[in-house]
C-alpha cells in the first residue's frame, strides 16, 4: 500500500545532510513540524517549518525534556488510518496524521566516550526520540520512520520513484531498522549502568553491536559472515589495515587470539604466532629480532600461513625475516618505512597497525542456539597458593620463566602443554581430549624443530596430571621443571616420581582451561 506523505516531524540531534531532505520535502509539498534546535536550523536554511510548541499548543518544559511527548503528536503517529473509531477520535480532537518521522537521538555514546560525569551522561539519555521512533515503527503500515542519516538518500529515491509516496515494504524495512536502533540504544545505556554499578552478571543481559563490515564468507566459503563492533566508539576496531587483501572471518579470529596473548606480554619485546586460534610460537626477549626468531623457531611448519603479532615497531630486519615465508597477517605497533616497503612487495599480505589498540572487554562470551555463556576473562597466571612440592627448588629466574610458560598455557586450547626455554616456546600440545596426547605432541614439536633446547626445559600444564604417564613423557624428553595446578588424588604419587627423577615441580592451585 503506497501512502502519500503530507506531514513530517523532523527532530534531529545530528543535522548533517538535512538540507537534502528539505529540498525534496518542498518539491512534494510536505509540511514540516520540528522542535528546538532543529526548528531554528531549518528556518535558518530558509524553509517553512512549524515549531512543535505552536503545533501542540503546549510550550516545551523541563529544559526541553518534554516537547514531543504530547497526545497530538503520538495520536498523529499511532492511529490506524483504516480504523473508523480511530478516525472519529482523531477528527473529534482535531488531530491530523503524521506520515513521516525523521529522528536521531541525543549523542549518548559520544558523551560516554568524552565525559566521565554521570550527571552529563544521564542528561544525554534521549526519551522523546526513542518514544517517537517506537511509535512510528509500530505503525509502519501508516507511517515511515527514518532514524539514520544514511537512509536520507533511500527516502529521497523512494519519494521520487513514487511521486511523494512510500511503499509498505519500504516502511516495514525502516521499521525493522528503527527497532534495531532503539534496542541498541537502550542496550548501551543498560550496559553503562551495569559497568557503573559493577554488575557483571545482570538479570537481563543485552549485547549491543553495530555492523562494521560484511565479510566475503565465514569459516568456510559456504557460510555467510559479518563483523560487528560492540563498543561506544562503534565506527572502528582499534587498529588500521595498511596493506593487503580484505580481512576474512578466520583472519579476524586469529588476530583477536593473537592480540589476547600479546596483551599479556608486558615486560619485553613479545612476538606471537597464531594458527587456527592457537599459539604455535611465543617469545619474549630484550632484542626484537631475537624475539621474532625465537617465536618462529617454535614451530615454523605451523607458522606457515599464520598470523604474526608484535608488541613493538616492525623494523627492516624483521620485515626481511617475515618475507622469507608465507603469512596471512602481520600485526605490529607501527612499521618503519623500510619494513613497509619490503612487506608491501607481497600483494596479498595484510599489514595491520595496532599502535592504538587497547582491549577493554573484561568478559568472554560464547553463543549457542538460544543461549550464551558469559565469564570473566582469565586474567590470572599464579596466585598466592603456588608452592614447590619437590626437594629441588627453582631459582628466581626459573620462577620468571615458569610464569611465562604458564601464561601461554592460558591461551592454548585444552588440554594444553607448553614447553619453553629462555622465555620462548619450543613445543606446544593443544586441544587434545587426552593430556598424555598433548604431552606427546609438545615433545614431538620440540624434538623436530629445537631438540637441543628440550634439555632443562620447562613444561606448563593448564590442569593437573591425573597419572604419572604424562610427566614420564616430559621427563624422558629432558624437561627439568614442571608446573601444574595440582589437585589429583594421585598428587603424592606424582610428586614421588618427580623427586625420584630429580626434577622440580610446582603446584599453582589455579587451573587454566581454555575450551
Report, as residue numbers or ranges, the catalytic residues. Answer: 138, 276
State residue 467 phi and psi, 5-degree precision.
Answer: -140, 175
SS3 230: coil
Helix, strand, coil in percent for the chain, rounding step 5: 40, 20, 40
Determine the Cα–Cα distance for residues 421 and 80; give it in Å rounded to an integer.
74
Helix (H) or strand (E) holding 444: helix 435-449
Determine the Cα–Cα distance for residues 326 and 253; give it in Å rounded to an integer.
18
State the cell numbers at 31: 509540511
- The 10 Å Cβ neighbour count of residue 253 is 16
Determine the Cα–Cα distance for residues 453 and 420; give it in Å rounded to an integer.
8
Determine the Cα–Cα distance for residues 389 and 511; give it in Å rounded to an integer.
17
Helix (H) or strand (E) holding 295: helix 288-298
Determine the Cα–Cα distance for residues 378 and 370; give it in Å rounded to an integer.
25
In sequence order, which ranges of 141-200 are alpha helices (DSSP H)? 152-161, 168-196
> What letters, b where the CB count within 10 A reaches 16 and e where it falls short, cover 140-173?
bebbbbbbbbebbeebbebbeeeebbbeeebbee
Determine the Cα–Cα distance for residues 284 and 295; give it in Å rounded to an integer.
8
Which residue(s) pair with 372 in the sheet?
367
Amino acid at each position: 500500500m503506497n501512502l502519500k506523505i503530507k506531514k513530517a516531524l523532523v527532530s534531529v540531534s545530528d543535522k548533517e545532510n538535512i538540507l537534502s531532505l528539505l529540498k525534496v520535502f518542498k518539491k512534494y509539498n510536505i509540511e514540516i513540524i520540528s522542535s528546538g534546535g532543529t526548528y531554528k536550523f531549518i528556518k535558518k536554511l530558509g524553509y517553512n517549518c512549524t515549531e512543535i510548541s505552536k503545533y501542540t499548543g503546549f510550550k516545551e518544559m523541563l529544559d526541553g525534556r518534554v516537547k514531543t511527548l504530547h497526545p497530538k503528536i503520538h495520536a498523529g503517529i499511532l492511529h490506524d488510518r483504516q480504523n473508523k473509531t480511530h478516525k472519529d477520535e482523531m477528527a473529534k480532537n482535531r488531530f491530523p496524521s503524521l506520515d513521516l518521522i525523521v529522528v536521531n537521538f541525543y549523542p549518548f555514546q559520544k558523551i560516554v566516550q568524552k565525559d566521565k560525569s554521570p550527571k552529563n551522561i544521564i542528561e544525554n539519555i534521549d526519551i522523546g526520540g526513542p518514544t517517537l521512533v517506537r511509535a512510528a515503527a509500530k505503525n509502519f503500515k501508516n507511517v515511515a520512520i527514518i532514524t539514520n542519516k544514511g537512509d536520507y538518500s533511500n527516502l529521497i529515491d523512494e519519494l521520487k520513484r513514487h511521486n511523494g509516496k512510500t511503499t509498505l515494504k519500504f516502511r516495514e524495512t525502516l521499521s525493522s531498522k528503527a527497532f534495531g536502533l532503539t534496542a541498541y540504544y537502550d542496550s548501551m545505556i543498560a550496559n553503562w549502568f551495569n559497568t557503573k554499578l559493577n554488575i557483571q552478571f545482570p538479570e537481563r543481559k543485552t549485547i549491543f553491536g553495530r555492523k562494521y563490515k560484511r565479510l566475503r564468507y565465514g569459516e568456510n566459503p559456504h557460510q555467510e559472515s559479518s563483523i560487528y563492533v560492540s563498543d561506544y566508539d562503534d565506527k572502528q576496531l582499534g587498529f588500521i589495515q595498511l596493506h593487503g587483501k580484505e580481512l576474512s572471518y578466520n583472519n579476524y579470529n586469529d588476530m583477536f587470539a593473537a592480540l589476547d596473548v600479546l596483551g599479556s606480554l608486558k615486560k619485553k619485546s613479545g612476538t606471537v604466532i597464531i594458527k587456527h586460534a592457537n599459539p604455535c610460537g611465543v617469545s619474549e626477549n630484550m632484542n626484537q629480532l631475537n624475539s621474532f626468531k625465537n617465536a618462529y623457531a617454535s614451530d615454523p611448519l605451523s607458522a606457515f600461513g599464520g598470523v604474526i603479532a608484535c608488541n613493538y615497531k616492525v623494523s627492516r630486519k624483521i620485515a626481511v625475516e617475515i618475507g622469507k615465508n608465507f603469512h596471512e597477517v602481520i600485526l605490529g605497533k607501527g612499521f618503519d618505512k623500510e619494513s613497509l616497503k619490503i612487506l608491501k612487495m607481497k600483494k596479498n599480505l595484510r599489514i595491520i597497525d595496532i599502535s592504538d589498540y587497547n582491549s577493554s572487554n573484561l568478559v568472554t562470551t560464547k553463543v549457542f542456539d538460544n543461549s550464551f555463556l558469559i565469564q570473566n576473562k582469565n586474567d590470572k597466571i599464579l596466585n598466592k597458593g603456588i608452592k614447590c612440592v619437590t626437594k629441588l627448588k627453582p631459582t628466581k629466574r626459573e620462577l620468571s620463566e615458569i610464569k611465562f610458560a604458564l601464561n601461554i598455557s592460558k591461551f592454548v586450547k585444552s588440554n594444553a602443554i607448553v614447553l619453553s626455554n629462555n622465555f620462548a616456546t619450543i613445543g606446544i600440545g593443544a586441544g587434545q581430549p587426552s593430556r598424555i596426547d598433548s604431552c606427546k605432541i609438545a615433545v614431538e614439536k620440540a624434538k623436530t624443530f629445537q631438540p637441543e633446547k628440550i634439555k632443562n626445559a620447562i613444561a606448563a600444564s593448564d590442569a593437573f596430571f591425573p597419572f604419572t604417564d604424562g610427566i614420564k613423557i616430559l621427563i624422558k624428553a629432558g624437561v627439568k621443571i614442571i608446573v601444574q595446578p595440582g589437585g589429583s588424588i594421585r598428587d603424592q604419587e606424582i610428586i614421588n616420581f618427580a623427586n625420584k627423577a630429580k626434577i622440580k615441580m610446582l603446584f599453582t592451585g589455579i587451573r587454566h582451561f581454555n575450551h
